[in-house]
A and B are shown apart, each in its own frame.
Chain A
Amino acid sequence: MKFNIKKIAPQLLTLLFVILVFGFFSYNAQLNMENRGIDFGYGFLSQESSFDVQFSLIEYDGSHSYFRAYLVGLLNTILVSVIGIILATIIGVIVGIARLSSNYLIKNTAAFYVEFFRNIPLLLQIFFWYFAALRALPLPQDTESIMGVFYLTIKGLFVPAFIWENFNIFIYSIIAAVISIVVIKIYAKRKQENEGKQTPVFLISIGLLFVLPLLSFLIGGVSLSFEIPVLKKLSKTSYIYEGGVGIPPELIALTLALSLYTATFIAECVRAGIQGVGKGQKEAAASIGLNPNQILKLVVMPQALRIIIPPTTNQYLNLTKNSSLAAAIAYPDLVLIFAGTALMQTGKAIEIVSITMLTYLSLSLSISVLMNWYNKKIAIKEK
C-alpha cells in the first residue's frame, strides 16, 4: 500500500487531538474526584431517594429508589412529548392547509399565527402561560364548572376519572376491532385489484369500532362509571377538588406552549410540502373529475407527505428536546427530577448528567428511527 502522508497525517492529528482532550478531561476528573472524596459509580441508583414528586404516572414516594425517580421523570417527559406531538400535528396541519386557503382572511390569520408564535422564544411562552395566563384563573372555590364535570382552576384542570370494570375485556374488543379492520382493508385492496370493485372500508371500520366495544359492554360485563371531582375544604381558606383526575397547571402550560410553538414550524413544513406538489398534478386530478377534497386526499397529500415527513420529524425531535424546558416551571420531568433534585442530593454530577444526556439521545434516536421507517414506507418505489 502506498504511504500517503496527506491522508495519514490529518487523521493522526485528529486522533491525537481527541485522545488528548479525552485524556486531559478524564485525568482531571479523576484528580478532582479524589480531592473531593467523591467516588464514581452508578450504585446510588438503588438507594432510597427520600424526596417527593408532585405528579407521577406510576406510584412513587420518597421511600422508592433513585432509579424509580428516574423512571417517573422519564415517563413525565414522554407524556408531555406525546401530548405535545399530537396537538402540534393537528394544529400544524390545519394551519398549514389554512395558509394555502383561497380565503384572504383565513390565509392571513394563519400567517399571523405562524409569524407571531415562532418569533417568540419558547421559554418566554412557557413563562407567559404558566406565570401570567394560568395564574389569572379563579381559585377552586370560585370556579364554575364546564358542562358540570370539568373544573378549570388555578390549581389545574380537574376532569372526571374513568372507573372501569373488566377493563381488559374492553381492551381486547378494541384490539379485535383493529385487527379485523386491517384484515378487511387488505381484503378490500385485493378485491379492488382483482375485480375493480370498491368496498366501503371507512364505514365498515367505523361500524366495527363502535359495535365491538358496545358488545363488550352489553355481553362482556364491562361497565364504566365516572368519578366527578368534588370540592373539598382543606383549611379555612384553602380548597381543593378531590376525586377525578387533576391535571397540574405546569403540564397544561407546558403542552400549550410546546404545541402552539412547534405547530408553527409543522405548519410551514406542511405548506412547503403541499406547494412542492406540481401544479400539473392538481390540474390533472381536477381534469379527471375529482372534487377538491378528493384531490387533496388522493393526489396531493400522498405526494406532499414525502416532502413533509423529514422536516416534521426534526420538529418532533425538537419538541421532545424542548420539553426539557419544563424544569423552568417546575414540572417534574427528567431534567427537574433527575438532573435537578437527584443531582443536588447525591452530588454525582458526571453520572447523572451523562445518564440524562444518554436518555435524551436514545429518545431522539428512537423517534428518528421510527420516522425513517415510515418515511421509507411511503417513499416512491422506483422500478
Chain B
Amino acid sequence: MNKINFLKPDKSNLNLFLISGLSLVFISIFDVFLSSFFKINATGFLPTSVSFLLPLIIGFIGLHLIRIEYSGIRRLDEINKNFNNNNFNAALSLLIIFIIIKSLPPVLSWTVIDANISGNSKEACTGDGACWTYIKVWLRRFIYGLYPNEEQWRINLSFISLLALGSVGYFATEKFKKYLTLYYVVIYPIIAFLFIFFFISGGPVFFDFSYGIIASVVAIIIGFFVPNKFKLYYFCFVPLAVYLSLNLFILPEEYVELGKLEGLNWVETGAWGGLALTFIVSFFCLIFCFPIGMALALGRRSELPFIKYTSVVFIEFWRGVPLITVLFMSSVMFPMFLPEDFFLDKLVRVIIAISLFEAAYVAEVIRGGLQALPRGQYDAAKSLGMGYWKMHIFVILPQALKLVIPGIANTFLALVKDTPLILVVGLLEIAGMLQMAKTNPKWLGYSMEGYVFAAVVFWIICYAMSKYSYNLEEKYKTER
C-alpha cells in the first residue's frame, strides 16, 4: 500500500522527495563547482565521458524528484514554475547553470585575478591574465586619437560645455519650453559647430564657412514665419541674396571668413581620433540626417510626382548600398566630382556621406509614422484652413514623430555603431586606434584587451541610448 512511485513524485511523500531531490541537485552542482574552481574531479575514478555527464544525470534525476505540483511550499512551487516545469526545461536549466559555473573561473582569472594594471610598460604584465596596463598607457590615444597631449583640454572643454548646453532642456521653465525645439534644432547645432571650429580645430575645417552662410541659414529659418503668400518667393531669393550681398558688398574680405582664436594652434582633422572622433562624427551625422530624412519622408509622401520619385530613387539608392562603399565613394570618387582647387576635408566628406546614408533610413522610419496617422488628422487640419507647412509642423509631424521614437532611436543606434567603419578611409576612431596600437612593436599581442575595452565602451554607450529611447517612448506615450 505504502509503495513509493519514484517515477511519479506526488504530494503524499513530500519530504522524502524533497530531501532526496534537493540533495541530488546540490551534489551535482557542488561537483561541478569543485571541478571548475578547485580543479578537483570528485568522480575521477570513472571513465572520462561518464564523469563528465554524471553531474548532469544526477541533477536531472534530482530535479525530476522535486517536480511536485501544488506542493504547498511557495518557494518550491516557484522553482518548479520557473526552472523545472518539464524534463526539457530541467535539462536546459542544469546545462545553463553548469556552463555559468564552468566559465566563471577562467573569465574571472583573466579579467581580475591574474590581470595586471600597474606599471607603464609591457614588462609589468607578468601574469597569464589580461594586461590592463596596455589600456592604461594607451588610454589617452583611445580617447583623443593623435590629438597633441597638451591641447587635449580643448576637447574636454568643448564636450563639457556642449553637454551643459545640451542639458538646458531639463531645467527650462514652462515659459521657455516652447522655444526648446527651435533651440535644439537650430541654435544648438550652430553653437556646437562654432565650438568645434574654434576650439577643437582652431582653424579651417570647412570649405569657406563664413558669416555669409550663417546669415543665409538664419534667413531660411526666418522664412518659416513669413506669411504663406510670399513664402515661395522668399525661399527662392532671400537666402541667396543675403549670402551674396554679405560676401560681395557689405563686409570686407577679412571679416567674411571665420577667423581663429588667438593662441590656439590649428590641429588638422587627420590628428583627430579615438572616442572624441566617434562623438563628433555621430553628433554631426545625427544633426544633419534628421532634417534631411524628414524632408525625404515628406517628399516621398508628396502628391507632386517629380518630388515624389526623386525622393524614392534617392532613398532606395542609399538603402541598397553598404556604408563601406559609400565611404569609399566619398574618399576616392567624390573628389573627382569637385572643382580642382576646391578642397573638402576628408572628415567633412565622411560626415556628409554618413548623413545622407542614414537620412534615407530615417526617412523610411518617419514615413512609417506618417502612414500610421489616420486620415482624419489631415482632413481636420485642412478644414481649419492650414496650409501644407502649417499642417505638417503643428499637426502631423508632432504626432508622427511621437509614434516613431523607437524606430528613430534604433537608426541613431545603428549610426553610432557604424562610426567605427570610418577607419576604412583612414580616420582613426577608437577601432582604428586599436588597430594602430596593435601593430606597435612595443605592445604586440594585446589585441584581446583592446577589443574588450572598446566593446565595453561601445556597449555602455549603446545600451544607455537604447534605455533612454525606451524612457522617451514611455514618456511621450499618449492614450489613443
Residues in chain A within 8 A of chain B (CB atoms): 5-7, 9-11, 13-15, 18, 24-26, 28-29, 31-33, 35, 101-106, 109, 115-116, 118-125, 127-128, 131-132, 135-136, 321-322, 324-325, 327-328, 335, 339, 343, 349-350, 353-354, 356-357, 360-361, 364-365
Q: What's the least CB distance linking B160 to chain A, in Å?
A: 25
Q: Choose among B83, B336, B454 the residue with the greatest number of A CB atoms under 10 Å from its CB.
A: B336
Contact A324 B466 (CB under 8 A): no
Which residue in A119, A127, A135 is a CB contact (below 8 Å) of B459?
A: A119
Contact A29 B337 (CB under 8 A): yes
In the assembled complex, the Cα of A26 lies from the Cα of B338 at a distance in Å of: 9
> From A362, which residue of chain B is reached at the shortest CB distance?
B320
Chain A residue numbers with a CB within 8 Å of B325 are 324, 335, 339, 353, 356-357, 360
Contact B304 A120 (CB under 8 A): no
Known contacts: A9-B232, A121-B418, A343-B332. The answer to whether A15 contacts B462 by CB under 8 A is no
> From B306, which residue of chain A is reached at the shortest CB distance?
A11
Chosen A-B contacts, 21 in total, with CB atoms closer than 8 Å, are: A6-B232, A10-B304, A11-B304, A14-B307, A101-B89, A102-B82, A102-B89, A103-B92, A105-B83, A105-B96, A106-B89, A119-B466, A122-B417, A124-B451, A127-B434, A128-B455, A131-B451, A360-B321, A360-B322, A360-B325, A364-B321
Contact A11 B307 (CB under 8 A): yes
Known contacts: A28-B338, A131-B447. The answer to whether A365 contacts B421 by CB under 8 A is no
- Give the interface size class of chain B: 35 or more
In the assembled complex, the Cα of A288 lies from the Cα of B307 at a distance in Å of: 54
Contact B462 A361 (CB under 8 A): no
Residues in chain B within 8 A of chain A (CB atoms): 81-83, 85, 89, 92-93, 96-97, 232, 236, 304-307, 310, 317, 319-325, 328-329, 332-333, 336-340, 413, 417-421, 423-424, 431, 434-435, 438, 447-448, 451, 454-455, 458-459, 462-463, 466
Chain A residue numbers with a CB within 8 Å of B306 are 11, 14-15
In the assembled complex, the Cα of A364 lies from the Cα of B455 at a distance in Å of: 29
Q: Choose among B83, B337, B434 the residue with the greatest number of A CB atoms under 10 Å from its CB.
A: B337
> From A368, which residue of chain B is reached at the shortest CB distance?
B320
In the assembled complex, the Cα of A340 lies from the Cα of B338 at a distance in Å of: 22
Chain A residue numbers with a CB within 8 Å of B323 are 321
Q: What's the least CB distance linking B148 to chain A, in Å?
A: 27
Known contacts: A11-B304, A102-B85, A353-B329. The answer to whether A32 contacts B336 by CB under 8 A is yes
Chain A residue numbers with a CB within 8 Å of B448 are 128, 132, 136
In the assembled complex, the Cα of A356 lies from the Cα of B451 at a distance in Å of: 30
Contact A121 B310 (CB under 8 A): no
Q: What's the least CB distance linking A138 to chain B, in Å?
A: 16
Q: What's the least CB distance linking B407 to chain A, in Å?
A: 11
